[in-house]
Structure 1
Amino acid sequence: MPFIAIGAGRYNIDVPDLNRPKTNKTLAEYGGGLKYFVGPDFALRADIRHVLGFSPSIGNFEYSFGVTWEIGGVRPAVLPVKEVVPQVCESCAPPPPRVDSDGDGVEDALDKCPNTPKGFRVDSTGCVIEQTVVLRAVNFVLDGYELTAPAKATLDEVSSILVAQPTLSLQVSGHTDSTGSDQYNQKLSQRRADSVRTYLISKNVDASRVIAKGYGESEPISSNESPEGRADNRRVEFKLLDKPSFVKVYNEESSRASKNAAKKSGKKTKK
């Protein structure tokens, strides 16, 4: 047990036989020390104090060692620490963890449409919000299967739709005009379909979700008697093979830019 001490006092010294005058001095002191209890009532003590005298000024250090024995008195009984048993509060228990089995952001307890396909937006009840998908055709130059710049822009939109709708799969259908032989046009239409499929795959569309098929000149949508009609027929269209009920699909003809690009170049192949 550490302790501090502070005090004040006065002393008188009178030595007649030495013929010295009587001395009176005021003192002050401060210091500190330690007590070490060997037993409940018995302790060893050590301290140091600085003693200051005034008129004239003096200063001494005082070191002391001793024992302390407490006599009499009754110590209060030390009561045992009572163990506190926490009360169980059933209503205060943490709620069970939320479970969202299909990962649509709505926990199972509130999900009215379980097993939602991945990647689709849902409402507050976990049911898929109706989706609208627009698939636009693209055109090709005469006797060619290379993609024009407008065709690539259209296919970028189609690939974005397919990436965002992971359950959709489609067929890429290639077509030609009537210029050239049937056998040649069949091969050309397949090359056009393959070209579109390859481009979609390069845009992160899973290859297993896209198939390509050529139809030659067998399914025209315009008359082959005019350059404009033949440009319309040199096309690739899309057909969904697997479509959920909550997806609406609109197939649209190619853009004006795609049609115009198909008219500008290309070579004529004889029948």
Structure 2
Amino acid sequence: GSFGLPIHALRNTHLEIGGNTMTLRTPQGVVSNFFRHELNAALVYSFGNRDELTPYVLAGVGVARNDTVNVDDTSFTAHIGAGLTRLITDTVRGRIELKSVYDDFAGTDLFDATLSAGIEVPLGRTRIVEVPVVQPFTPAEPVVEKVEVIKEVIVAPPDSDGDGIADTLDKCPDTLAGVRTDNTGCAIAQTTTLSNIEFDTNKATLTAASQEVIDTAARFFEQQPNLRAVIAGHTDDVGRDAPNQKLSQARAETVLKALVAKGLDAKRFKALGLGESMPLVANDSAENRAKNRRVEFLLSTSETN
């Protein structure tokens, strides 16, 4: 048998101190059986709480006394092993264990294996008894009558082009996004970027995706015949200055031609290539270079709106 002490500094680990006596049956012709008495100590580590089916491992050392017919010897012994344990009643655990045992018997290294089964009785174990808790009397909550409250919500009138002027008052209902207007919804002199305009790479030809942008710009200028615009083309700083300036000029002219093709008077526009000379932001990232590759309208009016 053995006595176990928990080691609180090591999780799921305890120290077992114990001893055992074994009778080793001898073959016929030997006048007496052999006897082995052992005192040992072992560290045991469990992979769980030892209440459910829990595997564990152990390792220990001790002193063994071997009584045989010819030799009585006290020697060093050590063992390692593994086992399973499980709670079978409120106060008893079952245990089965397999160990490999080393014995320095009479100066000879001996190795044996043992299989054993037994029980454990956990000391100081408390049993938790659930006691029903009687809830205190709680008076019923007062009945609250719900009153429907009607809240009047003022809905802003429609503003299709998002210029801040209601459609019913907007004299120029197709204003380009981001363009500042007067109190009638018509554009005033300013600079605005033609968003989402795209060209084929290193070319001045518009992509098919840009056609909708050109259509929107054409409707904008058609509604406001007093507007004039410089169409300014810009590039990023990739490449040499001269080719960039030439490319920006060609792209500005492409936008001008596209607007004229929609029926607008060419005299209202001027194409101007500015190359990389006027960046919106620093050309220090791919995202910023994309912002700098743009087409802008520098809007002016022939008369005060």
Q: Normalising to structure 2: TM-score of the pair?
A: 0.36
Say which structure is richer in helix. Answer: 1
Q: Normalising to structure 1: TM-score of the pair?
A: 0.41
